[in-house]
Structure 1
Amino acid sequence: MSLPDSTPTSLRHALAGVLILLGLVQQILAFAGIVILPHGVGYALWLATLLLWPDIPRRTRWQAGALTVIGLGLLIASRWRYEAAIAWPTITSGNTHVVAMLVGVSFIGILGNRSSSKRPLGHPVTGQRGTLGTWLGVHLLGTILNLSTVFMIGDRLERRAPLTTPQLLALNRGLSSAALWSPFFASMGVVMTLAPDMEYSRVLIIGLPLALLSGVLTTLELSRRFDLAEVAGFSLSPRSLLMPVTMASLVMLWHFKLTPELGIVSISTFLLPAVALASNLPAGPRWTLYRVRQHTLMRLPAMRGEIALFLSAGLLTLGLSTAIAAATGSEWTLFAHFGAWEAILSFLAIVASAIAGLHPIIGVSVLASMLDLGADRQTLFAFTALASWAVGTSVGPLSGINLSLQGRYGVSGYRMMKHNLVYALVMSGLVIGAILLLDQVSQTAQAFYSGHTYSETR
């Protein structure tokens, strides 16, 4: 097979692309316990970001620069003011696992041969049905593949035309609402660590219907605000679902049967590029190496915006968490008792902090550090944390989903925040009702078991 001429690229871009690929390779090797250079993933990705810094869009460059300066400033202040122990060689490691996953998922772009990517897409599904299809496709597949699903479906929609606001909002809300119940989401992993005695079944019974209401709300609200007649959506036909469902099935197989010790994000990081490479091997190793070279030199440097935002946001998170831990290291607790109204106040505070630019993981972690939760209160805390994560990531301009949409498709995180304010307000009302219901159910169950235990002891 003859190879087309390579598109010329500068030495700086080529070196940055190689460094990004090196960061991915180091992350994959780390899964097997092979560490070439401690914290080398972060070093490679940050060095690539510095090389590509002049090419990052000015708005994104300003935002990433501000996050980096604030994060470093907080670390320096924590060390100087509170004498906090700072592991300086590790400060470049924030969000590197997420960035490595994004880089790995990008290899889906070389899936199959070049001609197969040019197949006609057929007649698009539009209107409310198309918008609901986009939300549902991202939600169902995103519960397993997380953020990678947004790129799978978003890139497919973008092949027709640049993504419109309704399409971006459907992608945003479809993924963020999965945090309400998905056991494979990063949010659930964090919450299970903070509240090990939570009852997942109760969270599922309330979280899943709430997530479905999010889909109904999204479809109705977007159809009222926008003309969806010509807005293409994701078709839930077998043909369009074949690749995402296949990828999801492979990830689940690896997670449950082959490498149960690895999380979904870690498996996606190495499995998706491996499948993409394997799909090119029938055309010969020379063709496969050519595709990898082109992807490394062209596509990876083009990810500079999203890589810079995630790395700088990770540094900010580290600085904030370090400063907060240093300043509140006493035994003081926020609430003497964590009930429904305390949960509601905590939920509103975390969502408000997300709107101000903090990732919900910061608010959730800080809240957990200031509470003394008994086993009977951990389910309420868990749902509060998951709900604040779901609503906060949808509206927060610096959340993972909005940073990804900004870096990938060029939409401002603050524009997404503006369009999601009404949605967040309505969802907050539903969450407050769910918190009150869950607290009442928990109290009733506790009273029943207490009375039952008392009658048995008589």
Structure 2
Amino acid sequence: MRHAFAGGLILAGLVLQVMRLAGLPVALPVVSVAFWLAVGLLWPDLKRGNRRQATILAGLGVTLLLAAALFHDAEIAWIHLLDGNSYVVAMLVGVSFIGLIGTRQGHAPPPGSALTGRRGTASTWLGVHLLGAILNLSTVFMVGDRLRRHGEMSLPQLLALNRGLSSAALWSPFFASMGVVMTLAPQMNYATILAFGLPLGLAAGTLSLLDLSRRFDLDTVAGYSLSPRSLLMPVAMASLVMLFHYGLTPWLSIVSIITFLLPGVALASNLPRGPRWTLQRVRGHALERLPAMRGEISLFLCAGLLTQGLSAYITAATGSEWQLFEHFAAPQAVASFLAIVASAVVGLHPIIGVSVLASMLELSGDRQTLFAFIALAAWAVGTSVGPLSGINLSLQGRYGVSGTRMMRHNLGYAAALSALVVAGIVLMDAWL
């Protein structure tokens, strides 16, 4: 009953947010309260590590807000206390509905002889990267379960899954990372991010293949057979988002468009089988999939609360005059990127570093684009190497590989990709 009620609240939060986007008089705090109540109900089911991180984030956020109000007489908008990252959570919930389009088998290529060797590993990385750019973490399970049919998962396969998904954060508009960054830097230029992030993502794939080929014998390692049919849905969804963003609803952000578009497409794809069928699938999604998102939802909401607390306290204590950097250019961006990656290695999710950095900066125009780039790059590198990142925790839970082992085997890859990111930061700073 508790899980069902929590799933209903998460679904209600999404519906209320879509109503807001449609112009109906729904206040954002109502959306936020629905999500927070769901987290409260699901709190006992959170993994210990997630619960500890969420508690620390929320506790720090509330402490800083109280300190700003009590010691600096700051006026806190308490009614909006819980609103941090609600937009992102709504987008994450909306993206989850992609699982209602067809079936998992429908996304996979027809059965056949498995690819092996370098070609198979490259196909695994590319499949997870392209499909994951739309389907997010669910792609890892879709591809990983298919690979497991050929035997126990090997370390090269797990590393290909990890790196293929995490590197999509560099450019995909459907990733939670992009949702967070667009909220923190609303003036960022996505075309510039794509121009730098997509080549960097392909470079990450090349680095992965070279590294895995050098360190492992890939001759018998099975790969994922990527087919044109499996790419049809991701390409169609990306095209629809771009159509709405540049044509039909240019006043809405990409985060907002994804929030209503993906659930809408999912419902439309099920309606030909009848309203009852569609209702059953939505009900099943709300009862099973949405409560399973408790880790992501709690982390994003609590990180948003921390960001609000940091911003309020810094503004109150410094009179809006203090900033971490007087000028945000390549040297400052490189230092920020490396600091966030280092925090991920010791166990903090990149969203924490990104949120803390944003609360200490006051950026405008092209500086927001530079900030967005280093935030996305830090997310891509940090989630690949961080032992407590969502992708590594998921691989541990599903396939039994420890996050620490994944971290050790990703350190060299992370260092090489970081060097390319630093070069990209210098080039972008000169470009902007």
Which TM-score applies when normalising by structure 1?
0.75
The aligned residue for residue 416 of structure 2 is 426
Give the distance between the partners of 2:79 and 2:403, measured in 1 at CA. 30
Q: Give 2:171's match in structure 1, choosing from 170, 178, 193.
A: 178
Structure 1, unaligned runs of 5 or more: 1-10, 446-458
1:23 to 7, 13, 24: 13
Query: Residues 37-436 of structure 1: matches in 2 within 5 Å?
Result: 37-112=27-102, 121-137=111-127, 148-151=134-137, 153-160=139-146, 161=148, 165-178=158-171, 185-186=178-179, 189=182, 193=186, 209-225=199-215, 228=218, 233-329=223-319, 331=321, 341-353=331-343, 355=345, 357=348, 359=351, 360-362=353-355, 364-366=357-359, 368-369=361-362, 378=366, 382-383=369-370, 386-395=373-382, 402-403=389-390, 406=393, 410=397, 419-435=409-425
Residues 327 and 127 of structure 1: CA distance in aligned 2, closer, same or farther (over 3 Å): farther
After superposition, the Cα gap between the structure-2 partners of 1:390 and 1:220, relative to the gap in structure 1 and judged at 3 Å, is: same
Q: Distance in 2 between matches of 1:316 and 1:114?
A: 37
Offset at residue 324 of structure 1 (A): 3.1
Distance 1:397 1:77 in 2: 36
Superposed displacement of residue 393, structure 1: 4.4
Call closer, same or farther: CA 1:363–1:315 in 2, change over 3 Å: closer
Q: How many pairs align?
A: 416
Aligned letter for 1:253?
Answer: L
CA distance in 1, matches of 2:381, 2:84: 21
Distance 2:58 2:405 in 1: 22
C-alpha separation between the residues in 2 aligned to 1:408 and 1:314?
A: 26
Q: C-alpha separation between the residues in 1 aligned to 2:336 and 2:196?
A: 18
What SS is found at the alignment partner of 1:428?
Answer: helix
Output the aligned Cα RMSD: 4.1
Unaligned runs of 5+ in 2: none
- What SS class does the counterpart of residue 302 from structure 1 fall into? helix
Larger Rg: 1
Amino acid at match of 2:171: A
Task: Give the equivalent residue in structure 2 for 1:12.
Answer: 2
* Matched letter for residue 170 of structure 2: S
Paired residues of 1:23 and 1:45 also in contact (CA < 8 A): yes
**What SS does the aligned partner of 2:76 have?**
coil
C-alpha distance in structure 2 between counterparts of 1:51 and 1:199, whole Å: 37
Indicate the SS of the match to 1:92: coil
Contact 1:127–1:231 (CA<8 Å) still a contact in 2? yes
Per-residue CA distance 1:270-309 (angstroms, 9 max, x = gap):
2222222222222221121122222222222222222222
Deviation sequence 1:357-383 (CA, Å, 0-9, x none)? 3635335535643x8x9x9xx56x844
Q: Counterpart of 2:59 in 1: which secondary structure?
A: helix
Residue pair 2:185, 2:372 contacting (<8 A) in 1 also: no
Q: Which amino acid aligns with 1:103?
A: V
Residue 414 of structure 1 deviates from its aligned partner by 7.0
Q: Percent identity at matched positions?
A: 49
2-side partners of 1:152 and 1:73: how far apart?
35
Q: How far 1:384 moved relative to its partner?
A: 6.3
Distance 1:72 1:397 in 2: 30
Instruction: Mark the CA change 1:222 to 1:141 in structure 2 (over 3 Å): closer, same or farther.
Output: same
SS of the counterpart of 2:252? Answer: coil
When structure 1 is superposed on structure 2, of 302-311 and 229-238 the one drifting more is 229-238
Secondary structure (helix, strand or coil) at the match of 1:387 reads helix
Amino acid in the other structure paired with 1:171:
G
Q: Deviations over 1:366-412 (max 9, x none)?
A: 5643x8x9x9xx56x8446513530344215999x934664697488
Give the whole-Å Cα distance in 2 for the aligned partners of 1:65 and 1:152. 26
Report the secondary structure of 1:85's partner residue: coil
Structure 2 distance, partners of 1:13, 1:438, is 46
SS at match of 2:136: helix
8 Å CA contact 1:125–1:234 kept in 2: the answer is yes
Give 1:24 shift: 0.9
Amino acid at match of 1:292: V
CA separation of 1:415/1:105 partners in 2, compared to 1, >3 Å: closer, same or farther? Answer: farther
Contact 2:74 2:316 (8 Å CA) reproduced: yes
